[in-house]
Each structure stands twice: as structure tokens, then as C-alpha cells.
């Protein structure tokens, strides 16, 4: 059988982590006395590396690490569990695993935190490896995480990325990997399409069909 690997993003793809991330980003903006936009606007914090997003909201570039530290002071204690798996994700992963797909996580979230979250929701059992960012600047962006994951597992004959933002699409494309975008997360469909997503899934059933019909 051809070795088919699926790299899943975490935030906005497997789990709805918006509440915790937005609460912690709000704390960081308040720390600097910056205005806090609507929760809908704050949704852009879900997925991309925090440093670039804080700059968009007025944090000076030389203060981004301080903002991240404030964010993590709440997130690592409370915020990471203000989170819930999307309906149907467990059934999707179970089906793909039974059908012989190799499943992995590639997230810009710190790897130790990603493991904790997936363990809590009893989803880690579906994945061969859970790869994420480091707390230092060694691995930050999606392309860095995917490079690390590929180094760990080699190159399966076919690889597909599943994510909810253009950062997933672009990070995968840097390694010649196609991406199916999902519309239930925090990214914008138009941005994923512009970045080169090969398809957009609006439901878990659509995602399963797209994966099953996909050929490299």
C-alpha cells in the first residue's frame, strides 16, 4: 500500500481553542495598555506564531517576548484547557487510522502544550508524532515545524496538510506539500485559496471525502 501521511494543524483544525487564546491575548494587550478589539477580530491570534500577531495589535517589536510571557503566564495554567475538540473530529481520525493513513500533528503551538491538550482530550492515540514549536526561537513557524517532522519520519510517498489558515498552506508549500483547508477554524477561506490550498472542506464528511479522493 502507498504510504499516505496526513499532517494536521491543531488550533482551529482539530480543536476550537479560541476562547483560551483570546482570553490570554487580551491579558497581554491590557498589560501594555493597548486597546482590545472585538473577540471576532482577536480570532487572528489563533494559529499563527504570537510574535507577528502581537505586532499587528500595537505591541512594539522589541516587546513581543514580554507580550508572549504575559500570554503564557495565563495560558500554561488555565487557557490551554479553555478548548474543545470540534464535533466529529474523533470519528474522522478513527476512520483515517483504520483505513491505514499515517497521522501526525504539525502545529505552531509549543509542542509540550500540544501534547498536553491532545492527551486531555484523548486524541493523542491517533497520531504517530505530535510536533510543535519550541519555547525558544529554534522552531516557531509552520515551515520550521514541518521540516522538523519530515526529519523525524523521512518522506512518506504521499503527504497532505490539513489546516485552517494560510500559514498552514504556505508552511506546507515550502516543502512541496499540498494543503486542504477547513472552513470551521479561524482563518479566512479566501486567504487559504489565495495561498494555494487545493480544496476547502466545510464539514468533517467533506474533509474525509477530499482526503480519500486526493492523489499527489
Q: At what angle do helices 166-173 and 142-153 cross, to 10 degrees?
A: 50
The three cell numbers of residue 94 are 478513527
Q: How many angstroms separate the CA atoms of 88 and 86, rounded?
A: 6
Contact 110, 79 (CB under 8 A): no
The three cell numbers of residue 215 are 492523489
Q: How many angstroms separate the CA atoms of 180 and 9, rounded?
A: 11
- 9 given a catalytic annotation: yes
Q: How many angstroms separate the CA atoms of 84 and 82, rounded?
A: 7
DSSP 8-state code for residue 129: E
Q: How many angstroms separate the CA atoms of 88 and 146, rounded?
A: 25
Q: How many angstroms separate the CA atoms of 205 and 215, rounded?
A: 18
Say which of 9, 16, 164, 168 is annotated catalytic. 9
3-state SS, residue 50 = helix
Give the catalytic positions in this structure: 9
Amino acid at each position: 500500500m502507498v504510504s499516505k501521511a496526513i499532517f494536521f494543524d491543531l488550533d482551529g483544525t482539530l480543536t476550537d481553542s479560541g476562547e483560551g487564546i483570546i482570553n490570554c491575548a487580551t491579558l497581554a494587550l491590557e498589560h501594555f495598555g493597548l486597546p482590545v478589539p472585538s473577540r471576532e477580530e482577536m480570532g487572528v491570534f489563533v494559529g499563527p506564531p504570537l510574535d507577528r500577531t502581537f505586532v499587528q495589535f500595537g505591541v512594539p517589536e522589541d516587546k513581543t517576548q514580554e507580550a508572549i510571557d504575559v500570554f503564557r503566564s495565563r495560558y500554561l495554567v488555565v487557557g490551554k484547557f479553555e478548548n474543545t475538540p470540534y464535533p466529529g473530529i474523533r470519528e474522522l481520525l478513527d476512520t483515517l487510522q483504520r483505513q491505514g493513513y499515517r497521522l501526525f500533528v504539525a502545529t505552531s503551538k509549543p509542542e509540550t502544550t500540544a501534547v498536553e491538550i491532545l492527551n486531555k482530550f484523548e486524541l493523542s492515540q491517533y497520531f504517530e508524532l505530535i510536533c510543535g514549536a519550541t519555547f525558544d526561537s529554534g522552531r516557531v513557524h509552520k515551515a520550521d515545524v514541518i521540516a522538523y517532522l519530515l526529519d523525524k519520519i523521512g518522506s512518506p510517498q504521499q503527504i497532505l496538510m490539513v489546516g485552517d489558515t494560510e500559514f498552514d498552506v504556505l508552511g506546507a508549500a515550502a516543502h512541496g506539500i499540498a494543503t486542504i483547508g477547513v472552513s470551521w477554524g479561524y482563518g479566512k477561506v479566501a486567504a487559504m485559496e489565495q495561498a494555494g490550498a487545493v480544496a476547502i472542506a466545510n464539514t468533517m464528511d467533506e474533509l474525509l471525502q477530499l482526503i480519500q479522493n486526493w492523489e499527489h
